[in-house]
Chain A
Amino acid sequence: MLNYVYQLISPQSFSVKYEDIDLNNRVIVRPRYMAICHADQRYYRGLRDINVLRKKLPMALIHECCGEVIIDKTGTFSPGQTVVMIPNQPADLDGKAENNYYFENYRSDSKFLSSGYDGFMREFVDIHPDRAVAFENIPLPIAAITEFVSVACHSFSRFMSCSHSKRDTIAIWGDGSLAFVTAEVIKANLPSSKIVVIGKNPEKMHRFTFVDRIISADRIPAGFSFDHGFECVGGEGSFYAINDMIDHANPQATFVLMGVSENNVPINTRMVLEKGLTLIGSSRSGRVDFENAVALMQKNRIKKQLSTIIYEDQPVKSFGDIHRVFATDSQTPFKTVFEWRL
Chain B
Amino acid sequence: MIFGAVLAGGVGSRMHVGSMPKQFLPLGDKPIIIHTLEKMLMCSKLDAVYIGINAAWLEYMNDLLIKYDLNTDKVVVTAGGNTRNDTIFNIINEIEAAYGEDEEHIIVTHDAVRPFVTLRTIEENIECALKYGACDTVVPAVDTIVTSNDNQLITSIPDRSVMYQGQTPQSFRICLLKDLYAKLSTDEKNILTDACKICVIKGTPVRLVQGNTANIKITTISDYKIAQAIVSSNIDGLEEDTLC
Contact = CB atoms under 8 A, between A and B. Distances in A.
Contact of A17 (B116, B120, B236): B236
Interface string A14-49: 111110100110001010000000000000000000
B38 interface: yes
B144 interface: no
Nearest to B214: A16
Contacts of B28: 2, 20
Contacts of A1: 35, 38-39, 42
A70 B30 CA distance: 20
B90 interface: no
A20 B230 contact: no
A4 B179 CA distance: 38
B237 interface: yes
A164 interface: no
Most chain A beta carbons < 10 A, residue from B41, B233, B237, B239: B239
Contact of A70 (B44, B124, B230, B231): B44
Nearest to B230: A18
Contacts of B154: none
Contact of B118 (A4, A9, A13): A4
Interface in A34-93: 68, 70-71, 73, 79-80
Contacts of B238: 15-16
B119 A123 contact: yes
Nearest to A340: B120
B123 interface: yes
B120 A317 contact: yes
B42 A318 contact: no
B119 A124 contact: yes
A320 B239 CA distance: 9
A15 B237 contact: yes
Contacts of B242: 318-320
A341 interface: yes
A146 interface: no
Interface residues of A, number: 30
A168 to B, nearest CB: 51
Contacts of A13: 239
B239 A20 contact: no
A79 B44 contact: yes
B42 A28 contact: yes
A79 B39 CA distance: 15
B169 to A, nearest CB: 16
B42 A70 contact: yes
A272 interface: no
Nearest to A13: B239
Interface residues of B, number: 29
A71 B39 CA distance: 12
A136 to B, nearest CB: 18
A186 to B, nearest CB: 39
B159 interface: no
B231 A2 contact: yes
A21 to B, nearest CB: 9
Nearest to A79: B44
A163 interface: no
Interface in A164-215: none
A164 to B, nearest CB: 52
A280 interface: no
B150 interface: no
B239 A14 contact: yes
A150 interface: no
A342 interface: yes
B234 to A, nearest CB: 9
Nearest to A14: B239
Contact of B123 (A7, A124, A320, A341): A341
B30 A20 contact: yes
Interface in A299-342: 317-320, 341-342
Contact of A319 (B38, B123, B239): B239
Nearest to A20: B28
Interface of B: 27-30, 35, 38-39, 41-42, 44, 69, 115-116, 118-120, 123-124, 210, 214, 230-231, 233, 236-240, 242
Given A4-B214, A16-B214, 14 more contacts: A1-B38, A1-B39, A18-B214, A18-B231, A20-B28, A20-B29, A30-B42, A68-B44, A70-B42, A71-B41, A123-B120, A124-B119, A317-B120, A318-B242
Top 4 A-B pairs ranked by shortest CB distance?
A: A1-B38, A16-B237, A319-B239, A15-B236
18 contacts: A2-B35, A2-B116, A4-B214, A13-B239, A14-B239, A15-B239, A16-B236, A18-B233, A20-B29, A23-B38, A70-B44, A73-B69, A80-B44, A123-B119, A124-B119, A319-B242, A341-B123, A342-B118
